[in-house]
């Protein structure tokens, strides 16, 4: 109010002077005393109206002189800054502008003083110390007599909320919400820019697409919370493997991507991959579980200067698919891979159809007591009776089925087929012999496995003791869970065999706790027992250990009498292999049994 009174008084003095001059030059008969009072009142009313429009305007407004001194502010401006009239009046605008914005603001200010209106964004500091993002419109005001700019009217707008909203939108658009690292869009756009720069500088860029092996298995077994925690910890470790010039991104699910802006030679890339392996080799602790992971990696390099980001990423994806297919930890892209990738996609589609149409069949290989010659059981081996490809062996589709999850449904069909076939042989008067089938890791970890097998046994009518389930050593990695499931299966009366023994990492102390009835020596050891002393020693050790654990032992892949005599000498009395019979369909095996 004091400011208002001072302005009003000054204004009235100026008006009175003007009127006095006008009065001296005018004839009294034309402009009387009452007329002067009316003009003065109108001018005062106009002044009051302009003052109210300025002071009560909801838009923050400041007025500065040519030296940047604040000569007037309205209530909205003072509220925005947090200062009172006395605290901000006659102060330089530097008092409210953040230090990093002063130089930029000075440039706009000088342009406005030249008579050119300016619109820009800057930041000011509230009296309490926090930053406020604002947009500014600077309007030059010219003097009436000289026409020179003598003041600037600064119209302010608080854009802090809208800026934060835009930053959030940008984060969602370019960053992964869970891990906080860049996403696919960010990766692609920055890769495109990096490729243009690399073409100019003649440098190489390597794109790595990384995928956690068996991640869906972790999710299905331990829950999504454990899966998310694992992803966060993997992210933290991968960050250690990139520099500020490289980009790490989460593409989707458990898939990550890295591009190195100065990749160097193939050996340099191999060293980068080795560094990634090194940071991942220690177990990850997630809600009480110690999880050991591996990652498959596909690599592509910008050998062609015209290659774009999309194509380079596609090549790395193809190399990744190849790495997963052949169970190799990383693969460099080559053009020959594209044909195999198309075949793989076609086979994946055909797998789903094969389950619906029940195109899978079992071939049975006899298991023999090598002393008496008696048939002690058969192993059911899956084949795919593909409508176009003919009979497809498991090596061509099992890994794909494990990867996409169809192995669980296939595994149930296999158990049901084996049980039905065993019952059919009994109805034909053949000996009641056990039938063995393989259980995949994914199938072993599915909920209610024992219940589902119990239902199959009930439906088919096969006695439980005539069904043997072959599991791999990898299912014993979670001892507590494996113990629970194996105990449930044993309570049903089914037999448990560890398949391919010696190729995994199971602890012998844990095997003593499990209800295992038989160990199967992997064919890779049996094949070379006559030529490789280390393989012979492994076989001898497994046979001796099985005796100490009171387990039966069976050797697979026996193809000649020398191998048979070696096994018999080591007191391994059960075997299967081409020396006895090749796998054959159920009806042919029935004829083979009758002929014996």
Instruction: Indicate which CATH number applies to the domain containing 272.
Output: 3.30.70.270
Whether 295 and 211 have beta carbons less than 8 Å apart is answered as yes
453 is a domain residue: yes
> Does residue 461 lie in a domain region?
yes
Does residue 413 sit within a domain? yes
Strand partners, 496: 469
User: By the 8 A CB rule, do 399 and 326 touch?
Assistant: no
Q: Which domain holds residue 71?
A: 2-163
Residue 168 placed within a domain: no
Residues 6+ apart with CB under 8 A from 249: 176, 181, 182, 183, 184, 186, 187, 256, 257, 258
Is 142 found in the same domain as 215?
no
Is residue 234 located within the same domain as residue 151? Answer: no
Phi, psi of 270 (to 5 degrees): -60, -35
Residue 380: phi, psi to the nearest 5?
A: -85, 120
Instruction: Determine the 3-state secondary structure of 517 from DSSP.
Output: coil
- Pair (523, 405) in one structural domain: yes
If asked whether residues 325 and 352 sit together in one domain, one would say no
Cα angle, residue 236 at apex, residues 230 and 238 outer, rounded to 5°: 100
> Are 330 and 349 part of one and the same domain?
no
Residue 157 lies in a domain: yes
Q: Output the six-digit token pair for 571.
A: 């007191």
Same domain, residue pair 29 and 127: yes
Residues 6 or more apart from 170 whose CB is under 8 A from it? none
Judge whether 170 lies within some domain.
Answer: no
Residue 123 sits in the same domain as residue 244: no
Residues 415 and 561 in one domain: yes
CB 215 within 8 A of CB 284: no
pLDDT, block means (10 residues), the chain with 596 residues: 42 44 43 65 74 82 91 90 89 87 88 91 88 91 84 91 82 88 94 92 93 84 86 95 94 95 90 93 86 91 84 92 81 78 78 93 96 94 93 88 88 96 95 94 87 96 96 76 90 91 58 85 88 87 87 93 93 94 95 89
- Give 368-371's long-range contacts (Cβ < 8 A, gap of 24+): 368/574, 368/575, 368/576, 368/580, 369/573, 369/574, 370/564, 370/567, 370/568, 370/573, 370/574, 370/575, 371/568, 371/573
Same domain, 229 and 98: no
User: Measuring CA to CA, which residue among 463, 462, 464, 461 is closest to residue 450?
Assistant: 464
Output the domain CATH number for residue 396: 3.20.20.450
Distance CA 290, CA 584 (A): 43
How far apart (Å, rounded) are the C-alpha atoms in residues 519 and 498?
Answer: 5
Nearest to 419 by CA among 481, 449, 377, 463: 463
| Residue 592 vs residues 381, 430, 525, 584: alpha-carbon distances, Å | 17, 11, 28, 9
Predicted TM-score (pTM) of the model is 0.53
- The answer to whether position 340 is within a domain reads no
CATH number of the CATH domain containing 6: 3.30.450.20
Q: Which residues contact 235 (CB under 8 A, 6 or more apart)?
A: 179, 180, 181, 248, 250, 256
Residue 33's pLDDT is 59
**Does residue 190 fall inside a structural domain?**
yes
DSSP 394: G
Helical H segments across 428-522, by residue range: 441-444, 449-460, 479-492, 508-511
pLDDT for residue 533: 87
Please state the domain count of the chain: 3
99-132 burial code (b ≥16 CB/10 A, e <16): eebeeebeebbeebbeeeebebebbbbeeeeeeb
Q: Are residues 184 and 331 in the same domain?
A: yes
547 and 419 part of one domain:
yes
Q: Check whether residue 309 and residue 373 sit in a common domain.
A: no
Could you give the CA distance from residue 111 to residue 251 in angstroms, rounded to a whole number? 46
- In eight-state DSSP terms, residue 93 is G
Question: Of 547, 472, 470, whose CA–CA distance to 502 is shortest?
Answer: 472
């Amino acid at each position: 109010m004091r400011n208002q009174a001072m302005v009003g008084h000054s204004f009235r003095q100026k008006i009175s002077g003007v009127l006095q001059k006008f009065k001296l030059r005018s004839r009294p008969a034309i402009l009387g005393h009452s007329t002067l009072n009316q003009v003065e009142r109108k001018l005062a009313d106009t002044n009051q109206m302009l003052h109210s429009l300025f002071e009560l305007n909801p838009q923050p407004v400041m007025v500065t002189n040519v030296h940047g001194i604040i000569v007037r502010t309205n209530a909205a401006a003072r509220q925005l800054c947090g200062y009172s009239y006395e605290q901000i009046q006659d102060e330089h605008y530097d008092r409210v502008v953040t230090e990093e914005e002063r130089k930029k603001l000075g440039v706009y200010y000088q342009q406005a003083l030249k008579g050119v209106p300016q619109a820009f964004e800057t930041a000011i500091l509230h009296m309490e110390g926090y930053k406020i993002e604002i947009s500014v419109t600077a309007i030059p005001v010219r003097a009436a007599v000289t026409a020179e700019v003598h003041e600037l009217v600064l119209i302010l707008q608080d854009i802090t909320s809208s800026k934060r909203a835009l930053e959030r939108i940008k984060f969602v658009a370019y960053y992964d919400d869970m891990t906080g690292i860049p996403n696919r869009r960010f990766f692609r756009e920055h890769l495109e820019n990096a490729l243009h720069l690399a073409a100019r500088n003649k440098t190489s860029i390597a794109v790595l697409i990384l995928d956690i092996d068996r991640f869906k298995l972790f999710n299905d077994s331990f829950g999504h919370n454990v899966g998310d925690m694992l992803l966060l910890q993997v992210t933290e470790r991968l960050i250690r493997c990139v520099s500020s010039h490289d980009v790490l991104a989460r593409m989707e699910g458990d898939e990550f991507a890295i591009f190195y802006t100065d990749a160097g030679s193939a050996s340099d890339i191999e060293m980068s991959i080795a560094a990634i392996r090194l940071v991942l080799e220690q177990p990850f602790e997630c809600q009480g579980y110690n999880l050991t992971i591996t990652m498959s990696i596909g690599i592509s390099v910008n050998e062609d200067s015209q290659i774009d980001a999309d194509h380079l990423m596609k090549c790395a994806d193809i190399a990744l698919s190849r790495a997963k297919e052949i169970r190799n930890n990383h693969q460099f892209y080559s053009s020959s891979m594209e044909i195999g990738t198309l075949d793989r996609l076609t086979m994946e589609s055909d797998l789903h159809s094969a389950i619906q149409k029940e195109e899978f069949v079992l071939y049975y290989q006899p298991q023999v007591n090598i002393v008496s010659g008696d048939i002690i059981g058969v192993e059911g081996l899956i084949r795919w009776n593909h409508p176009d490809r003919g009979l497809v062996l498991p090596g061509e589709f099992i890994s794909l089925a494990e990867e996409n999850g169809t192995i669980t449904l296939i595994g149930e069909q296999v158990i049901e087929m084996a049980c039905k076939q065993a019952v059919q042989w009994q109805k034909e008067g053949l000996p009641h012999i056990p039938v063995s089938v393989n259980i995949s890791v994914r199938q072993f970890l599915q909920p209610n496995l024992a219940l589902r097998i119990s239902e199959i046994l009930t439906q088919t009518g096969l006695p439980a003791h005539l069904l043997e389930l072959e599991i791999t050593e990898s299912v014993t990695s979670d001892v507590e869970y494996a113990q629970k499931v194996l105990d449930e299966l044993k309570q049903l009366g089914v037999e448990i065999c560890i398949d391919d023994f010696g190729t995994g990492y199971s602890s012998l102390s844990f095997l003593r706790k499990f209800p295992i009835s038989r160990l199967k020596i992997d064919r890779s050891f049996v094949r070379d027992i006559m030529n490789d002393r280390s393989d012979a020693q492994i076989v001898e050790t497994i046979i001796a250990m099985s005796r100490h654990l009171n387990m039966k032992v069976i050797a697979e892949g026996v193809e000649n009498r020398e191998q048979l005599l070696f096994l018999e000498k080591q007191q391994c009395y059960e075997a299967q292999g081409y020396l006895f019979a090749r796998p054959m369909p159920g009806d042919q095996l029935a004829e083979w049994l009758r002929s014996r």
